[in-house]
Amino acid sequence: MPVANENLLGIYLRDRRTKLDPAALGFAATRRRTPGLRREEVAQRANVSPTWYTWLEQGRGGAPSANVLDRIAHALMLTEIEREHIFLLALGRPPEVRYRAVEGVTPRLQRILDALEYSPALVKTFTWDIVGWNRAAAAVLGDGRELAPEHRNILRRIFCDPQVRARQTDWESVARFAVGAFRADVARAGASKEVETLVDELSRISPEFEAIWRDHDVREHGEGIKSLKHPLVGVIALEYSAFAVDGRPDLSMVIYHPATPEDVQRVKTLMKSLPKKAR
């Protein structure tokens, strides 16, 4: 099987190799004619044949397996985007998504959320844990500061929080959509094992969740319109869109934009009731 773009792959591997510091990786730095690691040193770190790795850089090694590409990426200390790049060059496809736990959003991403003044916005993981939100989201969807981190899961709130349930104009449709989109996100992230505990817990607590989960439906989050019944301002119509976070395949951002000027005013009214530092 030929490499998808063997010449560019070889050039890229050579370039990454020359940018590594031999001494920092435990190799002698003396008597080197060129900067960076030698080919045999990369091969040693990746546990592959030096001859085969040399051929790969020369564009004649044949297509490596995904496992070998992962070892080469590790040997060259590639970032996630660099790892994806060599998969595209070698195999013509990105690597399988690798789930990783998320601790929170970066300050820059939080500033983007905060800039959406009257549009509730949140950042969620592939397993639907909320890790970032803005003041509008705190006012309209609920202040995440009031919840323990383990309770900031969207599914847990939909099926276990009576207040969240009461605010839905059509709870069953919302619940079915959420479970279907959650199932698709989990499969895409390769995080099925990581959510087993959550799925088991919700299945025990909620017969409705268990029944919906058994249907095996999948949905795409995409975009649409959501209506909420808020006890202070009545029904709020929100247009929502979901976006990938560039460079963070483990995160997505969901933005809810008030559908009408009246809905904007309702959001403003709710925000006035929040403490100024609520996020």
Domain that holds residue 177: 107-272
Q: Give the dihedral sign, CA 164/265/239/113.
A: negative
Residues 138 and 265 in one domain: yes
**Residue 163 belongs to domain with CATH number:** 3.30.450.180
Q: Which residues contact 27 (CB under 8 A, 6 or more apart)?
A: 37, 38, 41
Q: Is residue 97 part of a domain?
A: no
Max Cα separation, the chain? 76
Please give the model's pTM, rounded to 2 decimal places: 0.68
**Residue 52 belongs to domain with CATH number:** 1.10.260.40
Residues 135 and 266 in one domain: yes
Q: Are 48 and 31 in contact (CB under 8 A)?
A: no
Give pLDDT tens digits along the chain (279 positions).
Answer: 455 566 888 889 999 999 988 888 888 877 788 888 999 999 999 999 999 999 998 887 677 888 999 999 999 998 878 888 898 888 888 887 665 555 678 888 999 999 999 999 999 988 899 999 999 999 999 887 778 877 899 999 999 999 999 999 999 999 999 999 999 888 877 788 888 999 999 999 999 999 999 998 988 888 899 999 999 999 999 999 999 887 777 789 999 999 999 999 999 999 998 876 554
Residues 30 and 126 in one domain: no
CA-nearest of 117, 167, 124 to 274 is: 117
